[in-house]
């Protein structure tokens, strides 16, 4: 049983960690509470500027001092080498001297804030609290004592009202970015709190929804078990040896739960055995049949996977086929004794079998869940926590037959969805509804400010696609790199069945050439649903444009031409798909058929249906398959 269970749990861990990249509620997000005129609210808030008084500034400084002291206590608890490295990295002594003397300015605080984000270990709670205090301090210090602060605030609210009106007419990504940045700045400075709350309620709603059916999730878990194991037991003084042949089935079930995804791996089957037991010169020949029911219950939430104690119950029945002894008299006594102890022996044997099964399940589950949680933490949770970018909403939920996923990816300087996602139509086993803000916000969290070299691009292409276009041949040209913009380095827009995608870099190198100007590389695709799947047709050429315009010298032209060539190889003229094939064990589900394809009003909607299975279990649910296993 060891081998099948480990494989099953490994696949479950893989599946749930991928899904835990997201979360859910039973509905599609908060209902619209009626139209809110945010532009009018912005104009009303214009007259409500809150001056940063000496008392407020002193309180912010004190809070910063306390937060920095907590960071110091954390650093004191680290190993000497690690502590020293951190202190050097964040210019610890210089920072504290300026803070103590009152010479700490916004620039110094800003540098310190940047220094303690995006590093392994920066997700510690003391660092997170310090970053929040620093952000508030920066905002307050920029306004404190500034005679033009109120005038600047009023101008900003006027501009914000205009942007909100424009966004209501035509909700572009550029407007959303500007509005989000301004609203975040207001929140950091403690200004227009009611207006900020209204914007959050209207324009920062969940921006990713996913649904997975139990039938599809089970495809990578369900399998038959057929194994032979040696038997060695001592029950009521009889040492028994033999072999047991176990056949059965593993399956996955969803358990209805509103606050987490609850998954149950079940093992059902029976073991038959041929045994010989020895007790005081008597040989006892028997066959046995043990019915096995075991399961491991696992809850999944934004923190990872959490297994309960494994559970197993076994029912044993034996049939003694012969007794060997030196005399007929001894055989007679042995038969009588066997009859008297048979029920008790079967009960003891069943209890021991259940203990072994549950212990084995627990051992393998603990290791695999630990591995899955480590991957979830290192690949998703920790990198986002290090930058204070972990989603404010990450919730999973299961019904009896669906796993629902909902996610809000947005920090205080970003907007998300406005309203609920489009409705899903027809049957589906897998569905994703994705707001365009989710892509940009998550890209900013993961690759904002990141430098990508030509070698790393080749490595990623090999990993993701298994092939590298000739345009990325490392031997044909000078090394090059792109440093992504810190704000929304990847932007998409979903509208009228058109997908607009753009990538922005703020620094480029090509050989000895260095360009420090933001360049946008963009392409537009038309999405079509075909009889076999989907097709993306590029509309025109890939575009490369310096966002600030101006004169383009030969170096700028060279870099722009190079980037246009590189990304034209990635943004192909046509991308066709004939269904979705899942990786690993889930490939057994077959190629999923595209059911719904929508790209409009800022949302991308995709759903797929699993094809019917080609065996006798095709029309059964996972629960029905499990219940039918023993009978078959």
Per-position DSSP letters for 560-576, written without gaps between them: HHHHHHHHHHHS-SEEE
* Total tally of structural domains belonging to the chain: 3
Question: What confidence tens digit (pLDDT) does each residue in 311-344 have?
Answer: 999 999 999 999 998 888 888 998 999 899 989 9
Please check whether residue 162 lies inside any domain of the structure. Answer: yes
Strand pairing report for 282-301 and 311-324: antiparallel
Please check whether residue 197 lies inside any domain of the structure. Answer: yes
Residue 261 backbone dihedrals phi, psi, to 5 degrees? -85, 130
**Same domain, residue pair 446 and 569:** yes
Please check whether residue 618 lies inside any domain of the structure. Answer: no
Q: Is the pLDDT of residue 470 over 50?
A: yes
Contact 407, 387 (CB under 8 A): no
Q: Classify 583 as helix, strand or coil.
A: coil
**Same domain, residue pair 58 and 9:** no
**Same domain, residue pair 257 and 139:** no
**Same domain, residue pair 53 and 180:** yes
**Same domain, residue pair 137 and 167:** yes
- Residue 585 is classified by DSSP as G
Question: What confidence tens digit (pLDDT) does each residue in 129-179 have?
Answer: 988 888 888 889 889 889 999 999 999 999 999 999 999 999 899 999 999
**Same domain, residue pair 105 and 153:** yes
Domain-terminating residue out of 203, 238, 271: 203
Domain that holds residue 519: 430-609
Question: What confidence tens digit (pLDDT) does each residue in 487-538 have?
Answer: 999 999 999 999 999 999 999 999 999 999 999 999 999 999 999 899 999 9
**Same domain, residue pair 12 and 56:** no
**Same domain, residue pair 488 and 559:** yes
Question: What confidence tens digit (pLDDT) does each residue in 187-214 have?
Answer: 999 999 999 999 999 999 999 999 999 9
Neighbours of 98 (CB within 10 A): 16
**Same domain, residue pair 46 and 112:** yes
Could you tell me the CATH number of the domain that includes residue 591? 3.15.10
Containing 239, the helix (H) or strand (E) segment is strand 238-255
Please check whether residue 416 lies inside any domain of the structure. Answer: no
Distance in angstroms (rounded) separating the CA atoms of residues 106 and 145: 13
**Same domain, residue pair 199 and 232:** no
Contact 373, 321 (CB under 8 A): no
Domain-terminating residue out of 382, 417, 443: 382
For 436-451, what is the HEC assignment? HHHHHHHHHHHHCCCE
Higher pLDDT, 469 or 108: 469
Per-residue pLDDT at 26:
38
Q: Classify 155 as helix, strand or coil.
A: helix
Q: Which two tokens stand for residue 353?
A: 């079998």
Please check whether residue 397 lies inside any domain of the structure. Answer: no
**Same domain, residue pair 199 and 224:** no
Containing 452, the helix (H) or strand (E) segment is strand 451-453
Q: Would the pTM of this model clear 0.75, i.e. be above it?
A: yes
Distance in angstroms (rounded) separating the CA atoms of residues 64 and 69: 8
Distance in angstroms (rounded) separating the CA atoms of residues 261 and 258: 8
Cβ-in-10-Å burial (0-12, 13-18, 19+) of 520 comes to: middle
Please check whether residue 209 lies inside any domain of the structure. Answer: no
Query: What per-residue string of b and e applies to 245-257 under the rule 16 or more CB within 10 Å gives b?
Result: ebebbbbbbbeeb
| Nearest to 435, CA basis, from 223, 628, 606, 552 | 606
Cβ-in-10-Å burial (0-12, 13-18, 19+) of 348 comes to: middle
Please check whether residue 220 lies inside any domain of the structure. Answer: yes
**Same domain, residue pair 198 and 259:** no
Per-position DSSP letters for 381-437, written without gaps between them: IHHHHHTT-S-SEEEEEE-SSEEEEEEE---TT---BSSPPPPP-S--SEEEEEEHH
Please check whether residue 625 lies inside any domain of the structure. Answer: no
Domain-terminating residue out of 382, 415, 447: 382
């Amino acid at each position: 049983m060891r081998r099948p269970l480990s494989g099953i749990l490994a696949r479950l861990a893989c599946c749930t960690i991928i899904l835990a990249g997201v979360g859910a509620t039973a509905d599609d997000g908060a209902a619209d509470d009626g139209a809110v005129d945010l532009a009018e609210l912005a104009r009303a808030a214009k007259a409500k500027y809150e001056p940063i008084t000496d008392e407020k500034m002193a309180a912010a400084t004190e809070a910063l001092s306390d937060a920095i002291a907590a960071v110091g206590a954390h650093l004191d608890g680290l190993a000497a080498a690690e502590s020293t490295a951190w202190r050097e990295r964040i210019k610890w002594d210089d920072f504290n001297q300026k803070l103590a003397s009152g010479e700490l300015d916004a620039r110094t605080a800003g540098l310190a804030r940047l220094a303690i984000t995006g590093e392994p270990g920066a997700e510690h709670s003391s660092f997170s609290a310090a970053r929040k205090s620093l952000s508030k301090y920066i905002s307050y210090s920029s306004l404190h004592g500034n005679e033009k602060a109120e005038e600047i605030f009023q101008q900003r609210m006027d501009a914000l009202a205009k942007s909100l009106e424009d966004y209501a007419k035509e909700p572009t990504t550029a407007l959303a970015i500007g509005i989000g940045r301004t609203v975040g700045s207001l929140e950091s400075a403690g200004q227009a709190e009611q207006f900020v709350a209204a914007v959050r309620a209207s324009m920062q709603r969940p921006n990713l929804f996913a649904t997975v059916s139990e039938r599809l999730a089970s495809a990578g878990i369900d399998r038959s078990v057929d194994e032979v194991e040696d038997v060695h037991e001592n029950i009521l003084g009889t040492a028994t040896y033999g072999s047991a042949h176990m056949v059965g089935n593993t399956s996955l079930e969803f358990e209805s739960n509103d606050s987490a995804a609850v998954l149950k791996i079940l093992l059902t089957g029976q073991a038959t055995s041929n045994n010989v037991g020895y007790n005081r010169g008597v040989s006892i020949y028997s066959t046995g049949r043990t019915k096995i029911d075991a399961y491991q219950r696992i809850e999944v939430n934004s923190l990872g996977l959490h297994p309960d104690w494994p559970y197993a119950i076994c029912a044993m029945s034996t049939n003694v086929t012969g007794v060997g002894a030196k005399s007929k008299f001894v055989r007679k006594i042995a038969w009588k004794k066997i009859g008297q102890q048979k029920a008790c022996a079967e009960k003891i044997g069943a209890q021991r079998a259940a203990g072994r099964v549950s212990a084995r399940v627990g051992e393998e589950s603990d290791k695999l869940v630990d591995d899955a949680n480590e991957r979830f933490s290192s690949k998703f949770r920790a990198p986002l926590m290090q930058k204070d970018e972990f989603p404010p909403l990450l919730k999973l939920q299961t019904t009896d037959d669906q796993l629902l996923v909902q996610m809000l990816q947005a920090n205080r300087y970003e907007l998300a969805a406005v309203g609920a996602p489009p409705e899903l139509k027809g049957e589906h086993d897998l569905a994703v509804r994705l707001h365009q803000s989710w892509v940009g916000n998550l890209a900013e969290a993961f690759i904002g400010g990141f430098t990508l070299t030509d070698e790393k691009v080749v490595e990623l292409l090999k990993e993701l696609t298994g092939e590298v276009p000739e345009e990325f041949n490392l031997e044909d040209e000078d090394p090059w790199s792109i440093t992504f913009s810190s704000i929304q380095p990847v932007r998409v827009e979903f509208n009228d069945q058109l997908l607009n995608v753009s990538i922005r870099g703020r620094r480029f190198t090509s050989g000895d050439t260095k360009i420090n100007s933001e360049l946008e590389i963009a392409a537009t695709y038309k999405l079509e649903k075909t009889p076999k799947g989907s097709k993306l047709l590029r509309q025109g050429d890939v575009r490369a444009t310096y966002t600030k315009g101006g004169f383009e010298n030969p170096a700028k032209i060279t870099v722009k031409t190079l980037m246009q060539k590189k990304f034209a190889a990635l943004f192909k003229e046509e991308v066709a798909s004939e269904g979705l094939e899942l990786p690993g064990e889930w490939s057994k589900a077959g190629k999923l058929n595209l059911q719904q394809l929508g790209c409009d009003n800022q949302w991308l909607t995709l759903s797929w249906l699993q094809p019917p299975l080609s065996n006798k279990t095709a029309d059964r649910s996972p629960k029905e398959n499990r219940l039918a296993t023993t009978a078959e």
